[in-house]
Amino acid sequence: DAGVIQSPRHEVTEMGQEVTLRCKPISGHDYLFWYRQTMMRGLELLIYFNNNVPIDDSGMPEDRFSAKMPNASFSTLKIQPSEPRDSAVYFCASSPLGGGYEQYFGPGTRLTVT
């Protein structure tokens, strides 16, 4: 099993540009989570999906952030327009229904907005 796959691993962009982060969850997993990790705020849950449907997006910081899951094997997190304060590591995680509630994390995307 390849695990959770995220791309790109690193992204450097200029303020005002659109950024799209991508995630492929583990096959068969029903839940998908997007997190943001910063030194100041730690690990924050942004949004999670169950069977491709957004369940809780209360952690999405503002309207500049959006997330989609068009099918069971792909999700995107988009920031438009990006700002320097969006610089962080973004993690995607997936989890099977039941299964002890363990979340399997991807390697993360390090985003730098200049």
Partner 1 sequence: AQSVTQLDSQVPVFEEAPVELRCNYSSSVSVYLFWYVQYPNQGLQLLLKYLSGSTLVKGINGFEAEFNKSQTSFHLRKPSVHISDTAEYFCAVKRSNDYKLSFGAGTTVTVRA
- What residues make contact with partner 1 under the rule CB under 8 A? 4, 31, 33, 42-43, 45, 48, 50, 55-56, 91, 93, 95, 100-103, 105-108
Our CB check for partner 1 shows the closer of 86 and 106 to be 106
Our CB check for partner 1 shows the closer of 15 and 97 to be 97
Report in angstroms how near the CB of residue 16 gets to partner 1 at its nearest.
Answer: 28
Residues near 59 by Cβ (< 8 Å), separated by ≥ 6? 44, 45, 46, 47
Contact between residue 106 and residue 23 where contact means Cβ atoms under 8 Å apart: yes
Our CB check for partner 1 shows the closer of 50 and 76 to be 50
Report in angstroms how near the CB of residue 108 gets to partner 1 at its nearest.
Answer: 6
Our CB check for partner 1 shows the closer of 30 and 81 to be 30
Beta strands in 5-102 (DSSP E): 5-7, 10-13, 19-24, 31-38, 42-50, 53-56, 65-71, 74-79, 88-95
